[in-house]
Amino acid sequence: MKKEDIDKLIEESLNKEDAKFYHELEEEGLFKQWGGLYTGKLKSWAILTTIVQLIFTVATFYFGYQFFTATETGELFRLGGIFFIIFFASSMMKLWHWMQMDKNSILREMKRMEFQIAVLSEKISDKRD
């Protein structure tokens, strides 16, 4: 049985309230997933890391510019080191955000599967009675 057939079967057997919940579990776009980072238990961490990431991004551009305009060798090493440390820290924060988005997507799909299993098992038990 195809996924579309199962979805259609489930939708036909749902009342309006359940159908609304089922449609809320659909796959979200990138910007909706990004907005979902700022809800839930890790909301404050997501806000904090976003603020720090913005500061690090500005600092990365600043130290990158200073690196390319520097004239002394010692200054080049210092600015280059600072640039790479801040750049990698910013990248790790971005990676954390992407991992959170992926986790939220997986949880949403798990809820969708639980809902499908519950509806189908209810339908099967109704047919047996």
Distance CA 58, CA 66 (A): 12
Contact (CB, 8 A) for 53 and 34: no
pLDDT digits (tens, 9 = 90+) for 8-63: 666 666 666 666 666 666 667 777 878 888 888 888 999 999 999 999 999 999 99
Structure tokens that stand for 45 in this block: 């961490």
Please determine, for residue 129, whether its predicted confidence score (pLDDT) is greater than 70: no
Contact (CB, 8 A) for 97 and 38: no
pTM over 0.75: no
Region of 15 (left: φ > 0; alpha: ψ -120 to 50; beta: rest) is: beta
Measured in whole angstroms, how far is the alpha carbon of residue 12 from the centre of its chain?
A: 31
Best CA proximity match to 89, nearest among 61, 128, 49, 118: 49
How would residue 122 be classed by pLDDT, with cut points 50, 70 and 90? confident
Q: What pLDDT score does 31 carry?
A: 78
Contact (CB, 8 A) for 120 and 10: yes
